[in-house]
Structure 1
């Protein structure tokens, strides 16, 4: 009685590489092409607008031909196949033509017709279909006179035929994928048409599965989902106003210390006589009241302009719907009302005084005409 063996060991006995390695190699090959296209796009980024989109199929054709020249033409595995420990199985492949040795290396190579047909199926035909479809779409009339006239146009019929051919190829590729998952041979439709099979380059190498990359992705996605759930629940405006209040109180204390230090320096230097003058005393008194009492009447000057000339929240010189708070400073109506709605204990950023109420400012009467 023989013990049941897994499909992996049965495939190893038949010389077939794991299906997941073959599919990963196909996907990695396309990702390598995408990386090369990104680098080429960066080189031609400063060319006139639309140039890169116009010649994008030709750039893709050039990159695919470059990879084909250094891989299939030399009967060598692609970089993606090398990463997955895969190479061409020249012994089991059922293609037309003889496998002859290379003149330089002496190793077996793919037949010339297979290499050329591979380039035709993998590179030239997709480029021709993309160019033909783009040409027919550009030639199509966006505003046809009638539906009957549109149906009879030869260009549109050809476009529909091209789209039908693409759907047929996609359906055949799906059938080939199902057959590949069942048999483990011919990972693509073109490989089945050419009879190309893959094998393990080094059968003695053990397959090592690492879940570190997957775990990092799971951790990152879990963290982002947690942030997406928690961020809408956090009142960011209240946090910003709290930080602003703390900074304004700290700046008010710093201003008070500066004023006290200036008074001490003036006293020690014998500047008491200058303080008795009207202009100097009034100026110092204004600074003292602005630093100690928080400029309740909005008369503290900083940078040559009064506090009330700008909204303390949005720093806009032209306040929209100007409104006066209980501390005497003026804000934009939307800024102050939204701040008070977000934080009941909202304090003025300039004087650190809690805003209990706000009202429309009283209009000053125009001076009488002389």
Structure 2
């Protein structure tokens, strides 16, 4: 028998997740059946959607049950296989969650080629976050050359990709992020045309200065006061792909103050706005192949850059996750659960 260390949901968080909402256990894994493989986790992805899965509120995905292993995308090494498709030593993309080892069905895995790209990118720019940016922006935002695209949480893996794809398509990219350092990275690493600090007391004025011709596409990741300021800058026929609302993920009560919905609905009517929520999985059948082709080429030729924020050890996952929900990380947040055996990692 092989054992695995798992982090499970012990209680549904109220507000910001606390240590007491999680439990770490050691469990025995079952023997392999035909068509299954034994996996060792190398990288675990931490993403905002996980907070929604830790709630009983109705959403697009089922809630975790108490005692469940916390969900999450992983990059793993095959330690043993009873599936013809995979051999010991293969590196695969999986969805085995917050644990050190797992048994998984071969049909649920995708082989990665470490010679084509660092294996960690399968959880970031070449994985779900990159695909979210690609499909959401191009299918729903539909930026045209010369238009202004604004993206919130722009220093994160989705937002940074949105801005860079917008520039590839000839649009002007304006990023909103928290703090001067993140704004610097938007300009110097990701090549945004302008960066606006939402922590600044002059945020609304700074946003207006950065969008003199208004906003044609707003890629929504945050909600709250950021969105309130952006809505006032929207142009006729502006498009709003709604990807996330991280500002409210830990909310325990309704916002105070006047109801903003009537005013927003009025703007939708008078400006002929298109507002469309989406989950990236709906576009996989129609867009994933083109995403892999286009994004791989853009990364290879330097049109799209990426930053990874890597913490070491599964025991750091809960604290890192809290940091994610408060915007502490820069770039794609990963937990290095085990050693990365690929040649590029050994050469670092």
**TM-score category (smaller protein):** under 0.3
Structure with greater helix percent: 1
| Structure having the higher Rg | 1
TM-score by length of 2: 0.21
Structure number with the higher strand fraction is: 2
Return the structure number with greater relative CO, CA threshold 8 A, min gap 6.
Answer: 2
